[in-house]
């Protein structure tokens, strides 16, 4: 019995690897997602060996808390990129929504009404982008670039100095840390309502993309818009909808970020659209459209977040290296995606 059990234990890793190999052969598009998981695990192992205290509850907690807004943005860009589009306006939406939200909250508005307005601002930007793309045949890059400049300009028009959320504002509750596990010393497992909201967004997006007609239409548009039209799918409505979803999620990300820091500025969110695109691409969403996974985008966001943690722990790496390393990782995944698409062709 002991020999039989040992043989089974030895065979299990082989069976798992064989299963992964068959999955990749059946669907090569999952290769970038698997690569992102491998990179994330490798970064965790390297960080634990080199710096220590990576595999602990407090590090995981901080990783989720600090990147909840980026996870939401990555989900937003996943919808858009799957259709073959792009959204460059999400960073500016966060700036305008956060500044407007803080000013309204400080003016005495109800907290729930303020958060609804912040999400609504993002959705409105998404509607404009979607209409430009759908009815005026403007390229997504140009349409969302225009919205990016508009959002940044409106944020600067509202205020050019930091706006601080009142200490007694109920909005701050979203950023309050809730202890789940009381660990030794400071090694506690904590979350915030923002993390819970981000998880709900991920689960809802997964359901929409993989269990609804709308999700199937999103993938079909990315594969071939003309074919989707011939199949009788609501292509035009869905194209507008994905930009509304992207804008609304950007507004929600503004709520989460503002609640955590308690401040808003017109310069908030500069470059965040690129971080969100990088997270989606690292997670396996193909820039050519038709392929992408929400859970993969979450891994991509966590890869970027963990990279910042490791650079901070090292202490000898200048912060400027973050963008260089991100660019290098993104280049590798773009080349990997190109290899995948060539194989499928």
Task: Look at the domain 41-344 and name its fold.
Answer: ABC transporter involved in vitamin B12 uptake, BtuC (1.10.3470)
Distance CA 220, CA 242 (A): 13
**Angle between helix 68-82 and 57-66 (nearest 10):** 60
In 3D space, the residue among 119, 130, 122, 120 whose CA is nearest the CA of residue 86 turns out to be 130
Q: Take residue 211 and report the two structure tokens written for it.
A: 């269990």
Distance CA 52, CA 55 (A): 8
CA 319 to chain centre: 21
Distance CA 47, CA 58 (A): 14
275: CB partners within 8 A, 6+ apart: 70, 73, 304, 326
pLDDT in tens, the chain (345 residues): 555 455 554 556 666 666 666 655 555 567 777 888 888 898 889 888 888 778 888 888 999 999 999 999 999 999 999 999 999 999 999 999 999 999 999 999 999 999 999 999 999 999 999 999 988 999 999 999 999 999 999 999 999 899 999 889 999 999 999 888 777 766 778 999 999 999 999 999 999 999 999 999 999 999 888 898 888 889 999 999 999 999 999 999 999 999 999 999 999 999 899 999 999 988 888 888 888 889 999 999 999 999 888 888 877 777 777 778 878 878 877 777 777 666 555
Per DSSP, the residues of 229-291 read HHTT--HHHHHHHHHHHHHHHHHHHHHHHHHHH-EE-TTTTTTHHHHHHHHHHHTT--TTSS-
Domain boundaries, the chain: 41-344
Distance CA 281, CA 195 (A): 22
């Amino acid at each position: 019995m002991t020999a039989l059990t040992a043989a089974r234990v030895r065979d299990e890793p082989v069976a798992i690897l064989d299963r992964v190999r068959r999955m990749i052969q059946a669907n090569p598009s999952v290769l970038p997602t698997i690569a992102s998981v491998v990179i994330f695990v490798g970064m965790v192992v390297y960080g634990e060996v080199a710096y220590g205290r990576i595999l602990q509850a407090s590090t995981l907690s901080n990783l989720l808390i600090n990147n909840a807004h980026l996870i939401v943005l990555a989900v937003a860009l996943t919808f858009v990129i799957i259709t073959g589009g792009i959204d460059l306006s999400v960073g500016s939406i966060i700036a305008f929504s956060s500044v407007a939200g803080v000013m309204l909250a400080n003016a005495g508005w109800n907290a729930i009404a303020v958060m609804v307005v912040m999400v609504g601002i993002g959705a409105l930007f998404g509607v404009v982008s979607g209409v430009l793309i759908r009815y005026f045949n403007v390229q997504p890059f140009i349409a969302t670039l225009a919205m990016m400049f508009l959002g940044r300009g409106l944020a600067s028009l509202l205020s050019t100095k930091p706006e601080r959320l009142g200490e007694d504002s109920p909005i701050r509750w979203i950023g309050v840390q809730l202890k789940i596990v009381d660990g030794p010393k400071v090694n506690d497992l904590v979350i915030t309502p923002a993390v819970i909201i981000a998880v709900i967004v991920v689960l809802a997006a997964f359901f929409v993309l993989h269990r609804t007609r709308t999700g199937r239409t999103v993938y079909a548009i990315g594969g071939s818009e003309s074919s989707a039209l011939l199949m009788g799918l609501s292509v035009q409505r869905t194209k507008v909808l994905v930009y509304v979803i992207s804008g609304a999620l950007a507004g929600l990300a503004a709520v989460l970020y503002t609640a955590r820091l308690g401040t808003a500025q017109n310069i908030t969110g500069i470059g965040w659209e690129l971080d969100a695109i990088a997270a989606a691409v690292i997670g396996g969403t193909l820039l050519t459209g038709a392929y992408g996974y929400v859970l993969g985008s979450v891994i991509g966001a966590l890869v970027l977040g963990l990279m910042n943690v490791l650079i901070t722990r090292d202490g000898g790496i200048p912060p400027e290296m973050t963008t260089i390393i991100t660019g290098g990782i993104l280049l590798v995944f773009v080349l990997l995606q190109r290899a995948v698409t060539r194989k499928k062709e």
